Chain A
Amino acid sequence: MYDFELVKPKSVDEAVSALAAEDAQPLGGGQTLIPTMKQRLAAPAVLVSTHDIDGMKGVSTDGGVMTVGGATTHGTVAKEAASAFPGLAGLAAKIGDPAVRNRGTIGGSLANNDPAACYPAALLAAGGTVVTNAREIAADDFFEGMFTTALEEGELITVVKFNIPEKSNYQKFEQPASRFPLVGVFVAKHSDEVRVGVTGASEDGVFRWTEAEQALSSNFSAEAISGLTVSADGMIGDLHGTPDYRAHLVKVMTGRAVSAAE
């Protein structure tokens, strides 16, 4: 890979100043970025590690909102979110593998917005806010298509806030090789609405399946969506599955997530 300067700030302020350098980029756990750099597909001049910023770590719950520090690892979320938000903990517990979960961070995952990442489905379905060093961005405004988000250059996700649903569940149907979701569906039943976040499936990245949300809002059961169909238009087609197959799986996984929601 190309060489770069590694910076390890201890505070958000230090990190933000370091990110002001030309071609600087935040480094979360690096579990996606480092393999990309090995292929020489990314060439940052400065990498700003968030690992040593204690203020960006940890999980806390307050009044129906779960706050997760941007540098919190998947492994930590899997443990610490388990009682208050089992749907999120269950999602985190199945990202990558144990060693990846010990490094990979929620901020890194959301900022990268890989079309097959897991966390974006949870953020969309739970609803909530992405907090950066500069501002707060509502979940529905954050994702702007594959690998694209509302984040500006040099902006750092410091905290992610989730509205804790009454019931939720994430169902991941794994792509057999990478184990990323071929289709992943996060269903969240809130007191006033049901939200369904779908990842892995669409060429536009993570999206909400609004027809299912409507159907489930009046009847939160797998039968409620039995009459719906998902269009294959705009679905990803690759050697692991056609657009038709992915569209089919969206419905199957949604039904399973509804049945498993707790």
Chain B
Amino acid sequence: MPKDHGIGASSKRREDVRFLTGKGRYTDDINIRGQAYVHFLRSDVAHGKINGLDTSAAESAPGVLRVFTGADFEGVGGLPCGWQVTDREGNPMQEPAHPVLAQGKVRHVGDPIAAVVAETYEQARDAAEQITVDIEELPAVMDMKAALKPDAPKVHEDLTSNLCYDWGFVEENREATNAAFEKAHHVTTLELVNQRLVANPMEPRVAIGDYAAHSDESTLYTTSQNPHVIRLLMGAFVLGIPEHKLRVVAPDVGGGFGSKIFHYAEEAFCTFAAKALKRPVKWVSSRSEAFLSDAQGRDHVTRIELALDAEGHFQALRTETYANMGAYLSTFSTSVPTWLHGTLMAGNYRTPLIYVNVKAVFTNTVPVDAYRGAGRPEATFQLERVIDKAAREMGIDPVELRRRNFVTEFPYATPVAVEYDTGDYNATLDRALEMADWDGFEARAAESAKKGLWRGRGINSYIEACGIAPSQLVGQLGARAGLYESATVRVNATGGLVVMTGSHSHGQGHETAFPQVIADMIGIDESQVEIVHGDTANTPMGMGTYGSRSIAVGGSAMVRAAEKVIAKAKKIAAHLMEAAPEDVELKDGQFSVAGTDKSIAWGDVTLAAYVPHNYPLDEIEPGLEETAFYDPSNFTYPAGAYVCEVEVDPETGKVRVDRFAAADDFGNVVNPMIVEGQVHGGLAQGIGQALLEGCTYDETGQLLSASYMDYAMPRADDLPSFQVDHSCQTPCTHNPLGVKGCGEAGAIGSPPALVNAVVDALQRGGKDVTHIDMPLSPARVWAAMQ
């Protein structure tokens, strides 16, 4: 029987009611009396020197309050990078300045040059057309390998080259890995591109700066996944505002997928300008502007080699990856191709020797940073593609080759510095094959053939490191932040609770799922628990939501805080029942004393905490409110297996996804309905990457895929209904809920399954195609067949 409440129940989402009736409160729905509007004049060339900037006509245009340029930001900090990577020799990465507004040079199309603040948005935009910019265009640095040639133009003159870092991992394993390749029975090599993507949450970014002169307090309303992180980065590194004079509010946020983690220039600008003008300043990105200013994702070019013995056992793996940073280092950009990527190269397999080399490169493109999965999709794609290719080359069934190499004993320490606590990769693979009716493939292929279509199937087995992250570990690896999470549980006198969490919900359903956990712990109705998030003024310092961390880290913090509350409540209950605290039990909202018939209700105890007339004041304080900061001791390791079946139209190259089965092990699951929804969304983004999406620049640095007219977003008729399953559960061993996180799995696991399926279809159709780079658009598939 499915549960109808508490952990494991598919409770309907309470937040839905406001979203379904038009009562959501997104940042653009906020309008502050007296607000002005900013329009950013952005560079239309990819690389150029600003020789002159004349804003005088714009300054006197109707409605204009002020025109800001880079000169106004001299002495103001730049946008910081949150993770320092060291190179193979132990030297720190090259870290260029990232000004709020361009200082003498523009480095990508969309780089902001000036900002016009006016009474209305249209006035600001009208005035911006009157700014004269004298730009001396420089050659654009676009191709990563060309960018590293000694004579390449430099994106940043003050750096020695366009190389951010040359990272080796694990450097000590390099020689041994190379030696293993020398001895290998078989080596499979694959060169591939993990193409640049645009996150495209449906809500474009918005920022509103506000300044209260009476208290000298600045407030930023912003579309962020992590308001506390923005407050810290912007306050401490950019604008020099102490946290107690800066409030950051991220209200309802319309999706993020990583792109709303980062601290952006527009946030700092609006906060700065509001104080300068003593007026609220609002910026609303258009979708077109988002394509030029939201950090983009992926963009890796990789050569991967897998060494196998005669039986197909993996002997060694080595990769060389070029990772595009874009023109500046976005907040977590440097960690994505390194620690979020290299550490996952073992996959689900026992590969004794692994060496990963990553060269991070500056180019004249929009900065690249984390996008759903962040590094882990890139790792999984390489690995699962090269394994499929190896299986074909060696004549081993691709399912069998994977099984032969699966890690089956836990804990398992990989050669790339992480320890998997638990898992069962055969179980999810079995389940995925069963759901997809793997054995019934041939009959379906025959049906497809009657229609003139080629059917193919592909599998993928993935692992990811989530629950980001153990602070001390990531600190050693270069993180400039702690990655704990926080929660305050405030019990009110009449027994209801408010949980103030540092996690942020922008679609994940925390307002529903978090109360399920607390309600279970205490034995009260979920409706008695309210979740507060998204405002630095009323939540403890928290690190926000990304990396599938909310339930694993934020949920654990909430559990810890609730445990403290319950421990104190038991003391109060013990006093009221004249029993020893250790004898007091809490179940179904009732405290009782073991072995007696004494009991007292939760509400009576909470009332006593705030009306302490009969209360052990000499032992404990009144009130019932506790805060916990939870720092995980390890990552969590969700894993699973995906099966994709496609039909390819050999005349046009068009691929249709016929069925997609996903079996995931997320450990324990709090709300199955929400978890399945997360998987559906991840699958759509992964299938989108594999089939449709691609961010393309021309050689001069102009973005060709600059709107939904050219950037192919997955639509309802591009996708099938999905089969998803999370019944294979190996609970996480090191967090209190045994949860692993589910947000990114679909996006990580689906691209290789789909590409494997298309390659399979083409081979069955008699085409000698071993790889096609994503997206597998009809044009590319057709070209591969020619």
Contacts and interface: CB of A to CB of B under 8 A. Distances in A.
A248 B713 contact: no
A252 interface: yes
B651 A239 contact: no
Interface centre among B288, B704, B712, B779 (most CB of A within 10 A): B779
Interface stretch (A52-60, A127-135, A172-180): A172-180
A90 interface: no
A176 B783 contact: no
Given A176-B692, A178-B708, A239-B705, A39 B713 contact: no
Interface in A201-260: 238-242, 245, 248-249, 252
A57 to B, nearest CB: 29
Contact of B782 (A1, A178, A248): A248
A195 B777 CA distance: 30
Interface string B76-120: 000000000000000000000000000000000000000000000
Contacts of A2: 126
Contacts, number: 48
A178 B709 CA distance: 4
Contacts of B715: 179
A177 B691 CA distance: 11
Contact of B652 (A38, A178, A180, A249): A249
Contact of A245 (B288, B692, B713, B782): B782
Nearest to A39: B288
Which of the four size classes fits the interface of chain B?
20 to 34
Contacts of B125: 40
B696 interface: yes
Interface string A91-128: 00000000000000000000000000000000000000
B651 A177 contact: no
B716 to A, nearest CB: 11
A241 B708 CA distance: 17
B288 A240 contact: no
A245 B286 CA distance: 33
Contact of B710 (A38, A173, A239, A248): A239
B712 A176 contact: yes
B777 A252 contact: no
Interface in A16-43: 38-40
Nearest to A245: B779
A252 B651 contact: yes
Contacts of B708: 177-178
Interface residues of A, number: 22
Nearest to B649: A252
B651 A178 contact: no
Contact of B778 (A39, A176, A178, A179): A176
Nearest to A251: B651
Nearest to A180: B709
Given A177-B708, A177-B710, A240 B651 contact: no
A27 to B, nearest CB: 19
Contacts of B694: 239
Contacts of B406: none
A180 B711 CA distance: 13
Contacts of A38: 286
A240 B709 contact: no
Nearest to A249: B652
A129 to B, nearest CB: 32
A177 B710 CA distance: 5
Interface centre among A1, A38, A238, A239 (most CB of B within 10 A): A239
Nearest to A116: B709
A241 B654 CA distance: 12
Contacts of B783: 242, 245
A61 B783 CA distance: 44
Contacts of A179: 715
Interface string B748-786: 000000000000000000000000000001110011000
Given A39-B288, A177-B708, A177-B711, A240 B777 contact: yes
Contacts of A252: 651-652
Given A176-B712, A177-B709, A178-B708, A241 B779 contact: yes
Given A239-B704, A242-B783, A245-B782, A176 B709 contact: no
A35 to B, nearest CB: 9
A242 B125 CA distance: 37
Interface in A150-186: 173, 176-180, 182
Given A177-B709, A179-B715, A239-B705, 17 more contacts: A2-B126, A38-B286, A176-B777, A176-B778, A177-B692, A177-B710, A177-B711, A178-B708, A178-B710, A180-B709, A239-B704, A239-B710, A240-B710, A241-B779, A242-B783, A245-B779, A245-B783
Interface of B: 122, 125-126, 286, 288, 651-652, 654, 692, 694, 696, 704-705, 708-713, 715, 777-779, 782-783
16 contacts: A2-B126, A3-B122, A173-B652, A173-B654, A177-B705, A177-B711, A177-B713, A180-B709, A182-B778, A239-B696, A239-B704, A240-B710, A240-B779, A245-B782, A249-B652, A252-B651
